[in-house]
Structure 1
Amino acid sequence: MAVYVYAVTRREHPCRLGGLTGVGPDAPAVRTLDSGELRAVVSDVGEAIRPKRRDIAAHQAVLDRLMADETPLPLQFGYTAPDDETVRQVLAERADGYLDALAGVQGCAEYNVKARQDEGVLLRGILEDSPRASGLNEEILAGDTDPRLPLELGQLVAAEVDRRSSNASADLIRALAPLARAYVVHPPTGEDFVNLSLLVPRDGEGAFLDAHTGLTREVDTGVRTRLTGPLPPYSFVP
């Protein structure tokens, strides 16, 4: 039977999995497979897994339980292997890499920071700081129909938005990265200009959260941040 894989841990991890049920319509028991110094947390699965709410919650519940004792290497939702022996073989073949990765995330959790600019605050700031942008805007509002004016204003504003977003992104990284063991910059999506994952030591979470709170007080910049965590270290799995 195929097996669904939740995470890889060190063999010494207590894996207190009692009472948990796994993904799939049959809600199978969650169990472990050992190979050398490593352990995989798995459950049996009889069909293709789709991201249903109940299954996503079951996946996360297993990882939350593991995180309570020691940081695992989490696998993304939906990872399956043909059978137990395949899982053990992968653990054996990749043992050195998994052990190094586990050492790297030990005692840490992932936090994700996304940020976007408040468009109104951003535009007002550009018009206040750029005499050329302000002048173009006034000409347009006064009724000048020259089609070159909105084109030039749009290009000027777009360039300034890019510059300010780049500076704000660098400021966020500069403020938060020193409080993390590692960080990963993901491509932003939607209106966000930052999508940053940080590997934060659990004994340093207070300082990290204080630093983030300090950033959110800077409301005049128009930067709005969203913090998610603590999470399993998905972004730091090789």
Structure 2
Amino acid sequence: MTENGVYVYAFIPEGEVLSADAVGVGSPPAPLRLVGEGRVIAVVSDAPPQLRARRRDLMAHQEVLLRLSDSGPVLPMRFGAIAPDEESVRAQLSGSQAELLATLSHLEGAVEINLKALPAQNALAAVIAEEKNVRRLRAAVRRRPDYEANVRLGEAVATALSRRAADAGKKVLHKLTPMARAVVPGPEVHGCALNVSFLVDRSESDTFRATAQRFADAHRERVELRVAGPLPCYSFVSSQNLRTPVAGG
């Protein structure tokens, strides 16, 4: 058992190898190693003392997962997953072989792409031109400016911007869903009309992103699209796959 436990990055199929200089979290970065049991192996390192979500370590964790995904499917762990020792990791592998293998097969050749839809920036002119209620309230403010009238106008503009973004979000979701193997909603994000992740064939990820960008360009007065990826496939790993002594550090 290492002093601070074993940091777990991911589960991958047996047969994969790591470069001799592969490193992960910590300062100095901890060397990576493989813990094997059956047809699935874990990528681990010694856990650093007093692990915190520092940018350096978050980026190191992400980089390990992205490099692993270059050579095959990866079942990623969230940042901060620490097991007491290697035997605990082997027990997880031994007890969950079927589930882990099924998930790895599902993720073969795929990446995650996240899309967020937000109200368009600098779209006031379009809102005034296209939203009758906003035009009416704006005219009222001009005739008789006061605090309450300005508040009503501001609320109407905000509501219109959010509704327009939500409508555009539905349209882009309908357009992109056929291009993905699977789609899952993400957690609610303040200010976002849509937060969703797509499981996309790695070979199609550039086409997917280009399609999203064309939609964003054509609807820039309604929505701002933020596209992130390719990413490790966090959103497509069921928590049931990770029944484990591993716990967030």
- TM-score bracket, normalised by the shorter chain, equals 0.7 to 0.9
Deviation per CA, 1:72-91, whole angstroms, max 9, x where unpaired? 01111111000001011111
1:17–1:62 Cα contact (<8 Å) kept: no
In 2, Cα distance between equivalents of 1:157 and 1:206? 35
For residue 92 of structure 1, what is the aligned residue in structure 2? Answer: 94
1:189-208, aligned counterparts within 5 Å?
Answer: 189-208=189-208
Q: Please give the alpha-carbon distance, in whole angstroms, between the structure 2 residues aligned to 1:225 and 1:130.
A: 22
Point out where structure 2 has 5 or more consecutive residues left out of the alignment. 239-249
Unaligned runs of 5+ in 1: none
Equivalent in the alignment of 1:226: 226
Matched, 1:5 2:4: no
**For the residues of structure 1 that align with 2:126 and 2:107, how far apart are their CA atoms?**
41
Letter in 1 for 2:199: L
1:170 Cα deviation after fit: 0.6
**Distance of 2:127 and 2:179 partners within structure 1:** 32
Structure 1 Cα separation of the partners of residues 162 and 198 of structure 2: 23
Distance 1:152 1:182, change over 3 A: same
Contact 1:115 1:192 in 2 (8 A): yes
Instruction: Pick closer, same or farther for the CA change 1:225–1:94 going to 2, 3 Å.
Output: same
d(CA) in 1 for partners of 2:25 and 2:151?
A: 54
Q: Alpha-carbon deviation of 1:180?
A: 1.0
Using the alignment, how far apart are the partners of 1:59 and 1:99 within structure 2?
22
Go from structure 1 to structure 2 and tell me whether the alpha carbon gap of 1:112 and 1:132 turns closer, same or farther (over 3 Å shift): closer
Equivalent residue letter for 1:137: R
Taking the aligned partners of 1:146 and 1:233, their CA distance within structure 2 comes to: 49
C-alpha deviation, 1:225, in angstroms: 1.6
RMSD, aligned CA: 2.2
Alignment check: 8 A CA contact 1:17 1:31 kept? no
Taking the aligned partners of 1:58 and 1:103, their CA distance within structure 2 comes to 25
Q: Distance in 1 between matches of 2:128 and 2:48?
A: 60
2-structure distance, mates of 1:22, 1:54:
10
Correspondent of 2:112 among 110, 114, 117: 110
Q: TM-score, with normalisation over the residues of structure 1?
A: 0.87
- Equivalents in 2 of 1:100, 1:145: separation in Å? 63
Matched length = 235
Deviates more, 1:165-174 or 1:52-61: 52-61
One-letter identity of the residue aligned with 2:140? E
* Equivalent-residue separation in structure 1 for 2:34 and 2:45 (angstroms): 8
In 2, distance between residues paired with 1:22 and 1:58? Answer: 6
Are 2:144 and 1:143 equivalent residues in the alignment?
Answer: yes
Corresponding position of 1:32: 34
1:134 lines up with 2:128 in the alignment: no
What is the rounded CA distance, in whole Å, between the counterparts of 2:173 and 2:86 in structure 1? 42
Q: Per-residue displacement from partner, 1:156-206 (whole Å, max 9, x unpaired)? A: 445434432321111121111111111222134243322221111012224
CA distance in 2, matches of 1:161, 1:213: 20
Match status 1:215 vs 2:215:
yes
Corresponding letter in the other structure for 1:214: R
Asked whether the 8 Å contact 1:33–1:88 carries over to 2, the reply is: yes
Q: 1:52-63 to 2 correspondence within 5 Å? A: 52-63=54-65
Given residue 8 of structure 1, which amino acid in structure 2 is its aligned partner?
F
Cα distance change of structure 1 residues 161 and 27 upon mapping to structure 2, 3 Å threshold = closer
Which residue of 2 is the match for residue 47 of structure 1?
Answer: 49
Q: Structure 1 residues 154, 64: CA separation in 2 closer, same or farther (over 3 Å shift)?
A: closer
Matches for 1:180-195 after TM superposition, within 5 Å:
180-195=180-195
Tell me if structure 2 keeps the 8 A contact 1:21–1:28. yes
TM-score with structure 2 setting the length: 0.84
CA distance in 1, matches of 2:236, 2:77: 11
Q: Structure 1 residues 205, 27: closer, same or farther in 2, change over 3 A?
A: closer
* AA matched with 1:180: A
Distance 1:173 1:230, change over 3 A: same
Which SS does the other structure have where 1:47 is aligned? coil
Identity of aligned residues (%): 32
